[in-house]
Amino acid sequence: MRHPADDGSTRTDAAWIGEAVIHGEDIRKPLGISHTYNMTALRQAADMYVGSNALIGAKNRIQGVRLEATDTDWSTGSGPTASGSMLAVLMAMTGRSVFLHEMSGDGVAVLRGR
C-alpha cells in the first residue's frame, strides 16, 4: 500500500495526521461526537494542505481566501477572510463544507462556492 510522501519527512507525519483528523471528523461530526485535538498536530496538517492539491485540492480551494484560526496563532493566504477554530479551518480547506457554518467572514461564501 502506498501512502503520501513516504520519504521519512515531516510531510509524511502531517499527511497521516491530516488523514486521521479529517476522516475521524467525517465520522464524529454526523454522530455529534466531539474530540479535542492537539493544536500543534492540527497546525502541522493545515500547513501541509496549504501547499497541496494532492487528492483533495486544498491549495486550489483556498486560493484567494485568507484563513485565520481563532483558537491558535495560525493564518494563511490573502483576500476575503474566513475565520474559525483551527479544526473548522482545516476541515473547510479539505472540502468539508459542514464546518463552514462554524466560521465567519466574507471568505466563507467564497469557500462555500467551491
Asked if 62 and 111 touch (Cβ cutoff 8 Å), the reply is yes
pTM listed for this prediction: 0.86
pLDDT of 15: 86
pLDDT band for position 13 (cuts 50, 70, 90): confident
Place of cell 474530540: 35
- pLDDT tens per residue across span 17-41: 999 999 999 999 999 999 999 999 9
Q: Distance between CA atoms of 80 and 109, rounded to whole angstroms?
A: 9
The CA-based angle 98-100-103, given to 5 degrees, is 140
- pLDDT tens per residue across span 36-77: 999 999 999 999 999 988 878 999 999 999 999 999 999 999
Q: Where are the alpha helices (DSSP H) in 6-106?
A: 10-31, 39-50, 58-62, 86-93
Q: Find the mean pLDDT for residues 94-110.
A: 97
